[in-house]
Amino acid sequence: FEFDSICWLTDLAKLDNYNYFLIVKNTLESLEQIIDQGKHRGVHFKIQEIIEGTLNPEIENRTCDNRSFTISSIWFFECQPIDKIVEVRRHAISILDKLSQDDNPEIINRTVTSLVSLLHVPHGNFGKQIRSEGNEYINQEAENALAIIEKVISEDKFPTVTHAIKEKLESSYANYLDCILDKLDDVKKLFKTPDINERVRYCLSHDWPEFVRDEDHNLTDKKFNKLQEATALELWDHYQNDPKKIVTFIEDTINKLIQAGIEPQCMVFQRACAKVNPGFIPDIIKELLVIDDLHLSFSVGHWFIFAKKESKMEIALSVIAKGKSQHKRGLASVAPYFDDMTKDEIIDIAQKLSLEHDVAVKKTVAYNLGVIYRKCGQFEELKEIIANFDTGDDAILLDTLL
């Protein structure tokens, strides 16, 4: 209730021709009280949206609504009193400093993202120019933000967050202010030498090359895939080809990413792990079948693709017999990769999956019926598969097939 009341203050701001320094100041004070009382958990995303709006360097973003208290017009323009601007913005940064000391890795990670934005050269439109003393304060803000980031890196409370900070600071798209370039180099020296944990974390948070600037995108993709495969080989070697330890380590890394508010991207790395050591895929899938984790259970399909031809049917039948909905969906989703299986095997798998009671599994089979038909060319068998679906699903299936 307290937080929603604060959000509604944004409407009041419009009544005073956007001269709302006092409203912004009071809002930030209220937010700080919520944080000091420990009531920010669960609404921290919205709180940070408000603060980011106060500090937003993208001047063209001038929206003001109940969801995002974006106050980009509080900037260093000629028409605005510099003392009030400085007061409000310094207060917002001090709140970010508090949030950076939180015990929640997701809050810290999001806070650092806000701070990193203050290190960049601001830009805007509407023909407005930032005055000279404004530039002085922008530089001070960047130095203060970098000092907070440095403190987070030094404490290293959550290695997953520290790795994410390193990635943010090394972004090739960054256009940093001149005043912090030397200091930024010193901060980067605080990062430890990358180990297997950091390399796997990177691979599990990217399914494609980030910040691609190469003209030859294929070359960049090849480098990225080689990195994934090299890391996969290193992981197998680190755990001496022990499937249980491999799955446990990947599961733990995924959970840490989620806790830090980073969405896992598991496809490419797990396929790389399967590709470089296919002999252990049956054992890996046995381990995956006892796991409920959404990302890992669905990834059964990624491993199945690279299984040896002679073991694929046995693995598929095991997934159908012992797996849960997500495992079976994972298997059904890779039907386009059933190239080295016989037509009869493909039809058999599709028929068994179409008999599942779980609607999600049946829909995944439906979406791949066209692929199955192109691989098998056996329309009569496909009609039998379609007959396993409820009347309501027939339209989806036939539309997909046609």
pLDDT recorded at residue 103? 92
> For 116-174, what is each residue's pLDDT tens digit?
988 887 665 433 455 566 678 888 889 999 999 999 999 999 999 999 999 889 875 56
pLDDT recorded at residue 190? 92
Output the furthest CA–CA distance in the chain (Å, rounded): 79
Count CB atoms within 10 A of the CB of residue 397. 22
Count CB atoms within 10 A of the CB of residue 402. 6
| More confidently predicted of 345 and 210 | 345
> For 301-320, what is each residue's pLDDT tens digit?
999 999 999 999 999 999 99
Distance CA 114, CA 100 (A): 10
pLDDT recorded at residue 120? 84
Residues of the chain with pLDDT > 90, as a percent, come to 39
| More confidently predicted of 330 and 50 | 330
- Which amino acid is located at 258 in the chain? I
Q: What is the mean pLDDT of residues 219-224?
A: 75
- List b or e across 185-204, with b for residues whose CB sees 16 or more CB atoms inside 10 angstroms: eebeeebeeeeebbbbbbbb
What the block records as the tokens of 219 is 């070359």
> For 179-188, what is each residue's pLDDT tens digit?
898 899 899 8
pLDDT of 345 higher than 50: yes
pLDDT recorded at residue 273? 97
What the block records as the tokens of 279 is 């002999």
pTM of structure: 0.79
Residues of the chain with pLDDT > 70, as a percent, come to 76
